[in-house]
């Protein structure tokens, strides 16, 4: 039970709290913000009319505000591969999907303006620039590279790391450690081929410290 509680505690800063109910009110949005601030989660996700209100309520807490647009029509799909397949069938469609799927499916994609005022495409160099902007890594490894500082002049502002959430104690600890060490070690040689940016050295070092904590049990 202690191990499960530890995993849950480490996962909280990576989560968001969402209220996209059909009957969402300003009071409900305020309550969501209060819960998010107390738990120190990564973000809240609300309908567009509540974004400004939630930003005001969460100012100074470190909790970000995300939104989702309730399109009157569209197609849902599971996972990046499913979303990419759905977009391929939708004339004039638009979506958010991994760069690798955009390239593989020959989709058009947008340059986004970063804090330095530069419009950057989501290529590996621009994602690496965002990752390289990380200066410190907290003990729980909760790091966001979305909207990096203006000092990362060539960074793509909608970049992210890929996380693996694993139990601290498991009978498969040895195999799990081996797989994760490979992913952040020798496996990095395949990053470019798969249209992923390689991990910065400081992130790999933090990963190795975390992997070393995995134990059999």
- 2 has a pLDDT exceeding 60: no
Q: Tell me the pLDDT band of 72, cut-offs 50, 70 and 90.
A: low
Q: Tell me the pLDDT band of 71, cut-offs 50, 70 and 90.
A: low
What integer pLDDT is reported at residue 191 of this predicted model? 93
- 210 has a pLDDT exceeding 70: yes
pLDDT in tens, 129-177: 999 999 999 888 888 898 899 999 999 999 999 888 888 899 999 999 9
Q: What is the mean pLDDT of the chain?
A: 89
89 or 154, which is more confident?
154
Length of the chain: 217
Q: Tell me the pLDDT band of 183, cut-offs 50, 70 and 90.
A: very high
Mean pLDDT over 64-73 rounds to: 80
- 201 has a pLDDT exceeding 70: yes
- Cα separation of 109 and 141, whole Å? 30
DSSP E strands in the chain: the ranges are 16-19, 43-46, 64-67, 112-113, 119-120
Mean pLDDT over 107-128 rounds to: 95
pTM of the model: 0.66
- Indicate the SS3 state at residue 169: strand
Mean pLDDT over 67-74 rounds to: 75
* CA atoms within 13 A of residue 72's CA, in its CB half-sphere: 0
153 or 94, which is more confident?
153
- Indicate the SS3 state at residue 22: coil
pLDDT in tens, 22-48: 788 999 999 999 999 998 888 999 998
Contacts (Cβ under 8 Å, ≥6 apart) of 51: 65, 67
């Amino acid at each position: 039970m202690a191990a499960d509680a530890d995993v849950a505690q480490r996962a909280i800063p990576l989560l968001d709290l969402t209220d996209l109910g059909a009957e969402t009110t300003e009071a409900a949005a305020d309550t969501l913000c209060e819960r998010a601030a107390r738990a120190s989660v990564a973000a809240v996700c609300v309908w567009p009319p509540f974004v400004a209100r939630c930003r005001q309520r969460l100012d100074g807490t470190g909790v970000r505000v995300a939104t989702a647009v309730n399109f009157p029509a569209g197609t849902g799909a599971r996972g990046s591969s499913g979303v990419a397949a759905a977009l391929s069938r939708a004339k004039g469609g638009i979506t958010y999907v991994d760069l690798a799927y955009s390239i593989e499916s020959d989709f058009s994609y947008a340059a986004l303006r970063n804090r330095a005022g530069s419009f950057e495409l989501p290529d590996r160099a621009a994602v690496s620039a965002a990752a390289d902007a990380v200066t410190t890594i907290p003990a729980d490894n909760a790091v966001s590279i979305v909207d990096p500082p203006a000092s990362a002049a060539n960074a793509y502002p909608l970049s992210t790391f890929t996380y693996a959430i694993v139990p601290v104690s498991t009978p498969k600890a040895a195999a799990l450690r081996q797989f994760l060490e490979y992913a952040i070690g020798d496996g990095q040689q395949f990053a470019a081929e798969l249209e992923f940016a390689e991990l910065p050295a400081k992130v790999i070092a933090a990963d190795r410290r975390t992997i070393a904590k995995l134990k059999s049990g």
